[in-house]
Amino acid sequence: MRAADFPGNLVDMAEPLSGLARCPVVVAPMAGGPSTTGLVVAASAAGALAFLAAGYRTAAVLLSASASPPAVPLHELLRDVAAVTGLPLIAAGAIMSRQDVRDVLAAGAVAVQCGTAFLRCPESGAQPLHKAALADPAFTGTAVTRAFTGRPARGLVNRFMLDHPDAPAAYPEVHFATRPLRAAAAAAGDTGRINLWAGEGYRAATERPAAEIVELLSGGPASG
């Protein structure tokens, strides 16, 4: 099984996906970029076995109107995508609790993908500075930005994001340009100048071990 990752703002996906036609793929949008019905149609035509429907709990918050293509809430996205494909749908976006899992399964997903729910767990590779920021009341929200890498991704709103609301769509050039700045900021413990990736449900992230989080999400023993 191979997974392919593509920007959510490409209009014609047939050509980029054509080289994967002989390989079963699960197609996901690039981090921060929403899934679209056009993307799923192209994925299906290329032979995908499933589709990762990545949406948001609410309409996307953008630091700049050009930071990312428009997004729709996850439940609307599942409905729209299901209308154009028979592929199994994997739901992603602000899934932090057992109830969230139940809701998207009821909306037509066959499985879920969680990211932020595991960011603070001991097994996570996130920096301690990053983990601490997720629980820091000084960070009051998230937004989609291109400031750190040149491609859209959601993170905790900090000084660097606010200082560069119109960062260009230039990955990996922006990524390489900001990498030494981010490294220096991390070494200095400066959360205002590092990328603090996080989904909308970041406040619900806990320090529980990954196995316990899986149980909570699936309704296992730890959830009761």
Q: Is the pLDDT of residue 81 over 80?
A: yes
CB 55 within 8 A of CB 77: yes
Block residue for tokens 């948001």:
56
CA distances for 172 relative to 148, 149, 180, angstroms: 10, 6, 14
Q: Is the pLDDT of residue 124 over 70?
A: yes
**CATH class given for the domain over 2-118:** alpha beta
Q: CB neighbours of 25 closer than 8 A, spacing ≥ 6?
A: 2, 3, 4, 17, 43, 46, 47, 48, 49
Helices 74-82 and 98-106: crossing angle in degrees, nearest 10, is 30
Helices (H), the chain: 14-18, 37-45, 74-82, 98-106, 128-134, 159-163, 173-188, 210-218
> What integer pLDDT is reported at residue 1 of this predicted model?
41
Q: Where are the domains of the chain?
A: 2-118, 128-188
Percent of the chain with pLDDT over 70: 75
> What integer pLDDT is reported at residue 205 of this predicted model?
96
Q: Is the pLDDT of residue 38 over 90?
A: no
- Alpha carbons 144 and 154: distance in angstroms, whole number: 4
Residue-wise pLDDT for 157-179, tens only, equals 999 999 999 999 999 999 999 99
Q: Fill in the DSSP letter of residue 56.
A: B
- Alpha carbons 176 and 173: distance in angstroms, whole number: 5
More confident call, 140 vs 70? 140
| Type of residue at 129 | L
pLDDT bucket at 23, cuts 50 / 70 / 90: low
> What integer pLDDT is reported at residue 58 of this predicted model?
53
Block residue for tokens 């009051």:
140
Tokens representing residue 23 in the block: 């390989």
Let me know how long the chain is: 224
pLDDT bucket at 3, cuts 50 / 70 / 90: very low
Residue-wise pLDDT for 179-198, tens only, equals 999 999 999 999 999 999 99
Average pLDDT over residues 101-122: 93
Mean pLDDT of the chain: 81
Catalogue the E-assigned strands of 48-196. Answer: 50-54, 89-92, 111-113, 142-145, 153-156
Asked if the peptide bond before residue 34 counts as cis, ω within 30 degrees of 0, the response is no
Average pLDDT over residues 2-8: 45
On the CB side of 60, CA atoms within 13 Å amount to 27
> What integer pLDDT is reported at residue 221 of this predicted model?
66
More confident call, 126 vs 36? 126
> What integer pLDDT is reported at residue 139 of this predicted model?
97
